[in-house]
Chains A and B, each alone.
Chain A
């Protein structure tokens, strides 16, 4: 089992739709969690950190479920500009402070 797993997609949704992605992790001792957005041929950019109590930033909501070992990202009212690959990142706590990336979920928002 991979340490951090994501459904690669693509998720094809119409503008205005609500879409959710999950990311599962295998190390129960993982300490920190993040969602990044990566546009084609660009570097990943931090979208949001994921806190134990859940957090929201505009149309984006991140949740952490420690019992089931997954994090989620919910995007409401999808925009064309939300089309990108969404990467989850987990500090798996192995051999020092190492952040492990999921393979990414591709989102395509259509008019």
Chain B
């Protein structure tokens, strides 16, 4: 089955540590996105990539970094510079402009 996979589902880290969230898709989609969702809130865009080896900052990119070395993969690193990293992180891919997003099942990150 084609889809988008995020791992792990739950992640716990100590404050001050960098952590990388995985996102892999086999839908052959060019565009990929990372969103953050806080309890009771909507989704906020962190980074997006429309093609391999290119990515753009979203609305809340500070404290995060990404890479897009392969079409299938778009990992997100939450760095120690991110002030409030505890959140639900969602990765999505998109087939073409104006088509809907397909989401992975998310990674719930808790930093203590």
A interface residues (Cβ-Cβ under 8 A, vs B): 31-32, 34, 41-46, 49, 87, 89, 91, 95-104
Contacts and interface: CB of A to CB of B under 8 A. Distances in A.
B100 A97 contact: no
Interface of B: 31, 33, 35, 41-43, 45, 48, 50, 56, 58, 88, 90, 94, 97-106, 108
A42 B48 contact: no
A45 B94 CA distance: 13
B106 A43 contact: yes
Nearest to B40: A8
9 contacts: A32-B98, A34-B100, A41-B88, A42-B106, A43-B103, A97-B50, A98-B58, A101-B35, A103-B42
A84 to B, nearest CB: 14
Nearest to A87: B42
Given A44-B101, A87-B42, A98-B48, 18 more contacts: A31-B98, A34-B101, A42-B105, A42-B106, A43-B104, A43-B106, A44-B90, A44-B103, A46-B100, A89-B101, A91-B97, A96-B48, A96-B56, A98-B45, A98-B58, A99-B101, A101-B43, A104-B42
